[in-house]
Every structure is written in C-alpha cells, then in structure tokens.
Structure 1
Amino acid sequence: MTTVTVLAYGAGNVASVQFALERLGATVRLTADPAELAEAERLILPGVGAAGYAMARLSELGLGEPIRAFPRPLLGVCLGQQLLFEASDEGGGVPLLGLIPGRVRSMEPAPDRPVPHMGWSRLSIVRPDPLLEGLDDSAWAYFVHSYVCPDGEATLARAEYGGPVPAVVRSANRWGCQFHPERSAAAGARILRNFLELPA
C-alpha cells in the first residue's frame, strides 16, 4: 500500500485531500514536521487562501527548505501549485518557493468572466506525462482561484478562462494542479491515483 504525506501547515484543505487519497487505498500521514517531510515517500502540498499567509506558515514551521530539497514526487494542489513558482503579485508581491520559473498574476475579471474562476472547466492536454495517464481532452476539473500561474514550459495541461490557465504543471519531480483533484470526480481521482503510482 502506498504511503503519502500531506503537509498540514494551516493553509490547506487537508481533510478532503486525505479522504480522497484514502478512498484510493493510500495510507496518509499528516505532518508539519520538517524531519518527517524529508523522509516522506511522496508529498502533497495543499493550499487554500492567500499566498502570503501560506508562505509565512511554511517559514514559521521551517518547511520551506525541506520542500525545496525534497527529491521524490511532490504535488502542489490549488494554491499549492502557485507556491511552486518564484513569486506572486498577491498582496503587493510575495516571494514563493522558486521551484518553477515565473510569476503568479491576478486574473482579470470581465462581465462574462467573474473572478474567482469557480467551477468546472475542461482540460486540454499539452503534452503527455505519467500524472495525466488515462486522461484526454474530455476530462473536466473543478477550479477555485483568483490568481493564475504563468503559461510556459512547465505546463502539461490547460484550461481556458479568458486566456490559458495552466491547470497541470511539472518541473522535474514536482507537479502542480491548479484545480482541486479531490473535488474533480473521475478525472481528479485518476490524477491522484497516478501520483500514488509514480516511482519514488
């Protein structure tokens, strides 16, 4: 049985992620301990709310450097994906973990496009990856976000919301999902299962 560690640092939807993983048969460990993080088989960085608060919590708990140094599969979820990048415009500017190049920017509202982007959007696969095994352009995912990551070489899949939204990203052993896989029905469950099956 696969064991996965979920960071419980006070800025994430830990319970729903935990239950989704347990439904797939995983053993879930919740921790905010840097030593336990460093020894994890695979790691999920959830996130809900403000980037500045999330980064402050990671700093207070001494988790920033262990996350940056983590050598096995790591998945950032929602805000957790954004935290993988270099900086965010949120709150006048916030330094992030710096694991993927680029700056996270606020989404621009429009009459037919309210912000936050909240609801179901179709995924468009940009390039194949083990995390997306079994998915195609018929997959839908559930999004809730007001900031958007840069669309670049790290992008594996996009959604459209007044422009491209990098929905899944990857750099080396680090992946991110802008949407909530734990709330994205069959497509989300498949992504989580694929993550559990990545070689550690």
Structure 2
Amino acid sequence: MSAEHRAAPPAAARIPRCARGARGYDVGQVDAFLGAVQEALDGAGPGSGGRPAALLSTHVRSVLFTAVRGGYRPEAVDELLDAAEDALAAAEREQVLRTRGPAAWQEHVDALTEVVRGRIERPRTQRFRRPSRSRAQGYSAAHVDVLCERLGARLAGSAPLEPAELRGAVLPPAHGERSYEEQQVDAFLDRAVQLLLALR
C-alpha cells in the first residue's frame, strides 16, 4: 500500500474539543466515521482482491454530524474530512488502475470532465436554475459564475485551482434573477471537487 493511502486522519484523541458550553460535532459519530475511513484505506491495497470499498470519497462530502455541547471543534474535523476525501480518492484511483487499467480510469475522468464542462460552458447567469420561489434565497450568480470560470481555466491548463478552494468557497446569498439554486450548485461543486481530485 502506498504512503498516500496511509495518510489517514490522525487519531480521534488528537481532535480538539469545544469548550463545555459550546456546540461541536458529536464525538461518537465522528469517531465512527473516521474509523470507517481508516478501514476503507486499509482495505484498498493490492490484497483487497479488487473489491470496492464500502466507503467512497464521494461519501465524505455528504456526511453530517449532530451538534452537541462539548463536541469536537467543527473546523478541526472539517480539515480531517478534507484529508480523508483526498486519501480515499487516491486509493480509488490506484484500485481502478490496478484492477481495470489506465483506459478505464481515463474513461472515468473523461466522463466527469464532460459533465463539468457541460455546465461551465453555458453563458454567464444561465449556468444553473433560479430558486423555485421568487423570494427564495440562493447563491449569488455572479460569484458562482466567477468560480465556474476559474474552474474552466483550470481545465484548460491556464490557471491553478485546488479542491480545497472549491470546498471552502464562500458564496454570498442573493435573490431572484441574481441568484442560483443552492442545491444544484452544491451538487455541481461536489462533482467538480471529484474531478479535480481525479486529475491529480
């Protein structure tokens, strides 16, 4: 197993906790999830027989933890989750290359690229749906469009863009014609992160 696979999140005992009265992520839930990440990484080596892991990199971005008093500090856990997603994505790439070959991996990358390009190549202000209700809040279309254009430049090889920049992107709220539906944008950003990890 490569050193990259071993780059698993640190032991849960090292995650700082919130002050007693402050709310953080539920300790038991975080520990269980990070344990599942470690199991997936440990089982991703050449001896796995080509079996797909039960936990995939795409699952990391959708995990939710209950807020409890005295739990783990969210920013510390979020940093570990980013590292977990990176490590799982690298393990998945190695497994596909090992069991199915480079052509299969390139096919996967090409399919992701087609989906992402199909969205970012649309005209500005028309890349995503508007919120279903006129007064509903969405993301600022202008800010989302700038992010899409940065992603397009990354795919064209003319500018850098790291997955962490998409994960941490702050998109101001907006309404009406100046906004995009949050759910659709979030789903797209998940796919864009997946693509950037695949391109590493």
Which of 1 and 2 has higher RCO (CA within 8 Å, sep 6+)?
2
Higher strand share: 1
Q: TM-score band (shorter)?
A: under 0.3
With normalisation by structure 1, the TM-score equals: 0.27
